[in-house]
Structure 1
Amino acid sequence: MRVFSIVIIVVLIAGCAGPRKNSVPVADHPDIWSRIDTFFEPPIEYQGEYGDYRSPLVYYNGDTVKSKKEWNTRRLEIKNTWMDKMGAWPALLEDQKLTLVDSVHREDFMQYTVEFNWMPNEKTYGYLLVPDRKGKKPAVITVYYEPETAIGITDIENRDFAYQLAKRGFVTLSLGTKDASEAKTFALYYPTIENAEVEPLSMLAYAAANAWYALSHYPEVDSNRIGITGHSFGGKWSMFASCLFDKFACAAWSDPGIVFQDDRPSINYWEPWYLGYHPKPWRKRGLMTEDNPAVGLYPQLRKEGFNLQELHALMAPRPFLVSGGSEDPPSRWKVLNHSVEVNSLLGYPNRVAMENRPDHSPTPESNEVIYEFFEYFLSE
């Protein structure tokens, strides 16, 4: 059987089509909050700066959102517009459960090899890590090029998100597109790679939503406390998944490139495995040039003035953290301030955070912020 895999960390605060108060007041976790509170405030030079990005609080016809009720209408307009442009998802697979294939006890948690359908026509495998302690637990889905790295059994450093979170009491589900990544096609294509009807990055988000449903049925998981995380490729994946699927309670995105930027080769949303799908033969990988232009949806989005600040706003009022590296420096607050403004309209402070490091690769320090972010927002 041909098997694909994904690494995802998912955190969720139950369905947030409308504003919901976080049930965890600061006073309940003063030690954690004192270590992460500064990441919810932009540096002085970026406070009140919004860049050239179109405000999510302005309808496409130019009218301005002035109330919470109007935001619900505008939010639906944003989501429907993006879903229409990227292609409609197939029906979500809401009733399936994880199939346990194998198990081994590691340290203070069980590691299960699991299978489930992440697309209507395709199964994947992953790893479910379940801490030994009893009772309902929060959970995180982790996504990456393959599922082994996040559970800590490869030599890749500082990407063992699922393992580290399991050690902190989270149930984690590690997923990845292993076969596709080895074939250099990376993403998911529906119904086929020859004739994809949904942009591949959106299809990855769809697969993460199906993973949420499968994980939510696991007896030891509190379905109201499931989040998602990933680095780089996994950062893009977890960002689109959490923005497009309301049931993720919160999310942490590690240096995905949170907006379109055409002169950064790692912020390559134009590639055919992200938002620039076209039938093979594919364009030569790399920056867009006159001799090697992007085709498909991506250049259309750029021509029409779309950027990702609109998707970020779909998270409101669910919390999210950008673990920024070389692709997401502190100047990204110009983009994030738009989400802060939406949350302010809804009456929710401290919902948007960014931590920064110089390099693309995660560090123990940057990862610790991710873990404490999830501990704070997914506690009972």
Structure 2
Amino acid sequence: MKFPKRAVILLFLTVYCSTCLIGQDNFKTEAREKLAPFFTTPKEWAGRYGSYRSPLKFYDGRSVKTPGDWKPRRKEILTRWHQLMGEWPPLLENQEMKVIDSLNRDGFTQYRIQFFWTPNEATEGYLLIPAGKGKRPAVITVYYEPETAIGMGEADHPYRDFAYQLAKRGFVTLSLGTAAATKAKTFSIYYPDIDHATVAPLSMLACAAANAWYALSKRPEVDSARIGIMGHSFGGKWAMFASCLFEKFACAVWSDPGIVFDKSREAVNYWEPWYLGWYPRPWRKRGMITEQNPAKGLYPRLVAEGYDLQELHALMAPRPFLVSGGSEDTPARWIPLNHTIKVNRLLGYNNRVGMTNRPAHSPTEASNEIAYLFFEHFLAYNEANKSYPGTASGGK
């Protein structure tokens, strides 16, 4: 399918910066053929939208009828959620990573790096750069700590070495994690500090990822138009909010985060203080919402006022994303995903929303293979010049 020629859509695409959306909307290569089944809503779930509020209606009830209508509606959603969660501090657009040390590994160089991911907090992570010349696509991976994604985490957590595996496939990867907060069992990022947070911690994680995007984009090996993000569980929530709230991410993989609110699932715990339920300490006991242990902070307000995360998913359109679903994101999640599919169709796009499903929460070799193919299709393979990672591209 060719890009629509109507001027309003061309203008719309300009607003979205050149996220390159590589691969167009059809599946021709071997990778596309393998991906195609996961970008088709199963018949059981097709056309079902549930009780989720339509992103194609303004908050005052007006309908979004044209691609031109979507631009102000998208802005309305983004503005409203930032108002609810707290405004980000100014993004750090001009910093460069500090290299601490380096290590030659399996066909790539691993750099331990440092940069500021908030105005008052620096972090350390790992930058993996494959051998070769030219600008490459890149993927940021996010988790509880940065070692797991580079293959140096706990042995009992297999198939979470996303940064390592993608580097082996020719991607520049940046592995990040909230190591100090995880050790302290506070998990997240609190701005300006944990006792005076003015931004919901999950939104602040997204802000940190946006600052990471800017730092990574300054690397000469990276094509800034082809940077994606991926995470699992806690990292899946982080990657989802980051890619939805920061449009410079070209695409994303969200591994079993729980893509919408679901108080029946303990792992879909957006009510916890380190996500959307922050309030001054002492905090509630971690776990399910009960009368004796209620949710506090922003989360109960969001639920009471009818907000849910399908609104944020819609901010991705027309950028592609893949839900790597497990126990928390079962095939029934196609119901909220159908809303973003509908937005993409209005804009003239198909095959931009995908989901795989596995029985358990943990990633598998098979689910990861589809995730990596997703990045190869939408980031690494350039349909225009049949180029692959390691060759020069037209990006910045």
State the TM-score, normalized to the length of structure 2: 0.91
Name the counterpart of 1:126.
125
Name the counterpart of 1:22.
21
Describe the SS at the equivalent of 2:252: strand
Q: Any idea what the Cα deviations from partners look like across 1:194-237, whole Å, max 9, x if unmatched?
A: 11000000000000000000000000000000000000000000
Name the counterpart of 2:256.
255
**Separation in 2, partners of 1:23, 1:141:** 18
Q: Kindly provide the amino acid, as one letter, of the partner of residue 72 in structure 1.
A: K
* 1:78-97 superposed matches below 5 A: 78-97=77-96
Name the counterpart of 1:51.
50
**Separation in 2, partners of 1:61, 1:108:** 55
**Separation in 2, partners of 1:331, 1:288:** 22
Describe the SS at the equivalent of 1:127: strand
**Separation in 1, partners of 2:59, 2:17:** 21
Q: Kindly provide the amino acid, as one letter, of the partner of residue 93 in structure 2.
A: E
Deviation at 1:190, TM superposition (A): 0.4
**Which structure ranks higher in relative contact order (CA pairs < 8 Å, sequence separation ≥ 6)?**
1
Q: Kindly provide the amino acid, as one letter, of the partner of residue 285 in structure 1.
A: R
Q: Kindly provide the amino acid, as one letter, of the partner of residue 343 in structure 1.
A: N
Name the counterpart of 1:373.
374
Is it true that 1:185 corresponds to 2:186 in the alignment?
yes
Describe the SS at the equivalent of 2:224: coil
Name the counterpart of 1:227.
228
8 Å Cα contact 2:324/2:356 also seen in 1 = yes
Deviation at 1:21, TM superposition (A): 7.1
Name the counterpart of 2:176.
175
Name the counterpart of 1:265.
266
Q: Any idea what the Cα deviations from partners look like across 1:248-297, whole Å, max 9, x if unmatched?
A: 00000000000000111000000000000001000000111111101110
Deviation at 1:107, TM superposition (A): 1.6
Which consecutive residues of structure 2, in runs of 5 or more, have no partner in the other structure? 1-12, 383-396
Q: Kindly provide the amino acid, as one letter, of the partner of residue 35 in structure 2.
A: I
Judged with a 3 Å threshold, the aligned counterparts in structure 2 of structure 1 residues 251 and 40 are, in CA distance, closer, same or farther, namely: same
Which consecutive residues of structure 1, in runs of 5 or more, have no partner in the other structure? 1-13
Q: Kindly provide the amino acid, as one letter, of the partner of residue 147 in structure 1.
A: P
**Separation in 1, partners of 2:192, 2:98:** 24
**Separation in 2, partners of 1:324, 1:22:** 23
Describe the SS at the equivalent of 2:113: strand
Judged with a 3 Å threshold, the aligned counterparts in structure 2 of structure 1 residues 293 and 26 are, in CA distance, closer, same or farther, namely: closer
Describe the SS at the equivalent of 1:184: coil
Name the counterpart of 2:213.
212
* 1:262-341 superposed matches below 5 A: 262-341=263-342
Judged with a 3 Å threshold, the aligned counterparts in structure 2 of structure 1 residues 346 and 371 are, in CA distance, closer, same or farther, namely: same
Name the counterpart of 2:69.
70
Judged with a 3 Å threshold, the aligned counterparts in structure 2 of structure 1 residues 132 and 18 are, in CA distance, closer, same or farther, namely: closer
Name the counterpart of 1:112.
111
Judged with a 3 Å threshold, the aligned counterparts in structure 2 of structure 1 residues 27 and 360 are, in CA distance, closer, same or farther, namely: closer
8 Å Cα contact 1:16/1:247 also seen in 2 = no
Name the counterpart of 1:4.
none
8 Å Cα contact 2:22/2:379 also seen in 1 = no
Judged with a 3 Å threshold, the aligned counterparts in structure 2 of structure 1 residues 73 and 26 are, in CA distance, closer, same or farther, namely: closer
Deviation at 1:16, TM superposition (A): 5.8
Q: Kindly provide the amino acid, as one letter, of the partner of residue 182 in structure 1.
A: K
Describe the SS at the equivalent of 1:222: strand
**Separation in 2, partners of 1:33, 1:348:** 16
Q: Kindly provide the amino acid, as one letter, of the partner of residue 59 in structure 2.
A: Y
**Separation in 1, partners of 2:345, 2:23:** 18
Q: Any idea what the Cα deviations from partners look like across 1:27-50, whole Å, max 9, x if unmatched?
A: 796110011100000111101011
Q: Kindly provide the amino acid, as one letter, of the partner of residue 124 in structure 2.
A: Y
RMSD value over aligned CA atoms? Answer: 1.5
Judged with a 3 Å threshold, the aligned counterparts in structure 2 of structure 1 residues 18 and 151 are, in CA distance, closer, same or farther, namely: closer
**Separation in 1, partners of 2:74, 2:309:** 14
Q: Kindly provide the amino acid, as one letter, of the partner of residue 145 in structure 2.
A: E
State the TM-score, normalized to the length of structure 1: 0.94
Describe the SS at the equivalent of 2:254: strand
Deviation at 1:140, TM superposition (A): 0.1
Describe the SS at the equivalent of 2:73: helix
Deviation at 1:312, TM superposition (A): 0.0
Name the counterpart of 1:102.
101
Identify which range, 59-68 or 230-239, moves more after superposition: 59-68
Q: Kindly provide the amino acid, as one letter, of the partner of residue 77 in structure 1.
A: E
Deviation at 1:23, TM superposition (A): 3.8
Q: Any idea what the Cα deviations from partners look like across 1:349-378, whole Å, max 9, x if unmatched?
A: 110000000000000000000000000000
**Separation in 2, partners of 1:138, 1:116:** 20
8 Å Cα contact 1:21/1:348 also seen in 2 = no
**Separation in 2, partners of 1:191, 1:20:** 31
Instruction: Provide the identity percentage.
Output: 63
**Separation in 2, partners of 1:126, 1:102:** 11
Describe the SS at the equivalent of 2:285: coil
**Separation in 2, partners of 1:38, 1:16:** 30
